[in-house]
Structure 1
Amino acid sequence: MALGKIENKGTPGIPDVGMMKITDKGAYPFAEMGYSSSLVKNEPCISISYPESLNQTLPTLRLGSIAEVKNEYGFIRSTCKMEPGDSGGPLFDYYGRVIGLHSAIDVSEEMNFEIPVDLYRRYWTALNSERLYTAFPEKKDSVKTDPLSLLLQKESKQKALHPDFVVTGIKNSCFAIKSVIKGQNQKINACLLNIKTPSGAQKQFLLSKNTMVGEEVQCDINGTTVPVKLIAKDEENDLVLFALERQINGGIDLNIADTDTVKINMGKLLYSVDPAGKVIRSVLGSTQFNLPKINSQPYLGAMVVYNSSPVLFSLIKADSPAEKAGIKVGDELISINGKLIKKASEFAPEILKYWAGDEVTFEWTNASGKMNKTFKLDGRGQSVFNHPAEKFEGGKSERRDGFNAIFTHDAAIKANACGSPVFDWEGSFYGINIARFSRTTTIVVQKKTIIEFVLKTIQ
């Protein structure tokens, strides 16, 4: 049931506050309210959120700090990144108490604004009335002193609350790869892996993001450009494996016989490394899950008549791969890559087996007779929205879904800096940054999947 709401239309930048009441009887879990008045700048804070874009049943976890205890508009500003779908979610202090509610963001990933929990304490009585307030109510409740206030002040000065983790360095774990995609120069990162084959031989590979590697591939190794040789691709996991012409000192030792893979536990502290050796800290934000192919669906630009058998084309979009291939409305589809398509319900599932850039052969008939054409499917491209959540530096990865057995973390890895390795603070290899999914989320293909790919390749 909706209760009171404070919404000052004259000053829309001021936090808007509202309350609801659960009317069904029952024992519900709850979080303790903290005190926003006792916050300290740089104090660690934790966020859990249900971003609708990931469509998961469990929230993702993010770690940050208090950047401003109270800004000019009355908001807390934190570095726990937010995106659409998070609004109304909780911001916790490091004691697990709610200190604010997610409200708004700006373009910078450091600009995340929270409604202070003390506003609810101050106007608790007023908000229990079913009323819309156009200004802060005159009736105020007493906001007591936080019983942990002195402790928070003391702990904020202790190094234990701001630990300088000693990163277990792995020399030469990440390199930059250069290639050409559609006539444009492209850079992406890659992990250097040291593999012991079943025969006992030692081999060295570069592992990277397949859709960000094109032709004329070269690796930048300590300022020297070294050609590399393509070994294998894994389209399902967007992985590509290369061999180097010469051995390099360092790299990640990957035991392909290792069945004791790392555990994907939310809250685990992680770090990524770029080619310059820069460390990017993060927190493991999810359990393992599958991410369906939605944004990464291939684009044909054709539709078929519902329930038709034989299958007839009903719509061909201008300048689409289908139109360029010569397919027209009313034409009868026979097969895709040799697979007979006998009824309309078989058409979409068959197309979804492919990826953007895949080459397909269509066979169809029209008034002129039987036609046969091989062509490439396009990508669907990025949707453009005028929202701060879509304007973060580097943007989203073009291929960012259609993965199985992945996990997320909150590192701000740029789309063109994926391919870099992910470790925990003990130096255990966790996987490869495969895609920047959104403002808050980078996706990791985990170690187990990489081992399976490498093992299949060298066997």
Structure 2
Amino acid sequence: MRSKPRLSLALTTLLCCALAPGMAVGRTLPDFASLVAENGPSVVNISTKQHTSSVSEMHGFTIPDLPDEGPLRDFFDRFFGEEGELPDDIESRSLGSGFIVSSDGFVMTNSHVVEGADEIVVRTSDRREFVADLVGTDKRSDIALLKVDAEGLPAVRIGSSKDLQVGEWVLAIGSPFGFESSATAGIVSAKGRNLPSENYVPFIQTDVAINPGNSGGPLFDLDGRVVGVNSQIYSRTGGFMGLSFAIPIDVAMDVIEQLKTKGRVTRGWLGVMIQDVTRELAASFGLKQPRGALVAEVLADSPAAAAGLRPGDVILAFDGKDVLTSSALPPLVGVTPIGEQAELRVLRRGERISLSVTIAELPEEDAFAAPPALDETPANRIGLVVRAIAPEQREHFGVEQGGVMVEALEPGPAERAGLRVGDLILMLDGQPVADPADFEQILAGIEPGRSVAVLVQRSDGRMFFAIRMPDPE
């Protein structure tokens, strides 16, 4: 009877021994040393020189004409030259990183690293220096392509960012603060990040330590393949804070191929102004949760107008790919070939429909990439900024005349009452509203402390809200 516990103990010991090696391997860090040794020679330091005509141009401000005598003249005489003479030729420098994409001398970096440069110097890890020619840049993706006169250079191996997984180890090599060939490692924190200032790049987010000077350097996977181009950091101090962003190498390679062959980059264009679907808007459209890109405006003579898109439509999918947020739509449209047809899945007044759109080329001036800018008019006493209703919106909501649209909403009485951005206000305190000026005039005549009724038109019908006028401050 006592043999069974002994047998059980023996089996448990054998099982632990069998698992131990695997568990140890799972805790072993990657061999970053061999990755750096193999790929370091392909990473370059990039320095630029820019000559400006004056100190004011270099620092982005204009120095006014100053009187011959006075404290301001004394200040500029002391710091910018004797007798107030400002230097005519100032040389400014910048530092960044890059990497060799082909052995015949093509080098990739960030557009902002070489922007405005009069001279670009590429220095390799073996201390050779080359003056580079700028083949082309693309500000929208922040990619630049350089060419140096050399052969047999050690080129990187190009991978694919599509195969990356969140949590996967990645390695960066670059020149932070000018310290060349610096290696840092971390993991992929997220994929497909869309930043407010960038509309056509689904960034790779990592926790790799990236600092000024790393810009334009490569991001490697554990197989030593480039999967991204380090581009931006999120920082409140100017230094690394754990949030780094890299341009997917698939996006970057498409850009440099276009720069090589055409000298410029073309992107697809839909022609809509879009915004996020908030929780409140989702409920009004009959969506169970916020998703999609809400069409705020359809530009005239655009592919969207030809396809029949309307303000108030919610784009749920583009060419078979789900659109979860408004920022996810521009990259999908941008990579679509010019002239190709794409299918849109749209929610319109509670009904899901499909539309076919023929993609056109994005205009040179990126006037349509960002969501519509809000009116800079300050909010009124109840926390609203209103504007006139566009003809297309009148047709969409069935409002023939009068009314105003809520363009911006700040914390205040209107928000607490339940009003939302995009609401149409048709009546205030029992009086029909003709236009924005009429709305503000009616509002100005309402005494503090009163509760007034506001008639609002939404996609799900008209309703009254009670707004209590704030007491005077």
Which structure exhibits the higher relative contact order, with contacts defined as CA atoms closer than 8 Å and separated by 6 or more residues? 1
Larger radius of gyration: 2
Give the structure with the higher percent helix: 2
User: What TM-score, normalized to structure 2?
Assistant: 0.26
TM-score, normalised with respect to structure 1: 0.26
